[in-house]
Amino acid sequence: MATATKKRWSQNVTKKSNALDLDEGVFTWKNPKRIATSLKRSAEHSKRRKAGAFQSAMSMLNFYVNRGGKDLPKTQKAVLERAKDELRAQFGHERKQD
């Protein structure tokens, strides 16, 4: 596998995910609630996902954040982190405070 191909395998996963049909550019949006709503809708309508809707949506979001790594601007990473909280809220999986 060529180096450029190895570096972009995660991009292909996000674009060609067999589990969820994602709205184009969903991870570049600036509104965490809009991102969460889109991921929730995609996960709930998917007939190909192996896990539950919440787990599938959160996994895709985590995958993108983790694979974005050093190339993901801090401002967008913050938006995506807030989208995780919004996704939990939309699915009723509130995080317990210590």
- Tens-place pLDDT, residues 2-25: 555 555 655 665 565 566 888 999
The pLDDT assigned to 40 comes to: 97
Whether residue 26 is contained in a domain is answered as no
Whether residue 57 is contained in a domain is answered as yes
The model's pTM is 0.79
Whether residue 43 is contained in a domain is answered as yes
User: Does residue 96 register a pLDDT over 80?
Assistant: no
Whether residue 27 is contained in a domain is answered as no
Question: Hey, CA dihedral for 65, 97, 87, 91, is it positive or negative?
Answer: positive
- Tens-place pLDDT, residues 63-86: 989 887 678 999 999 999 999 999
- Tens-place pLDDT, residues 36-48: 999 999 999 988 8
Domain count, the chain: 1
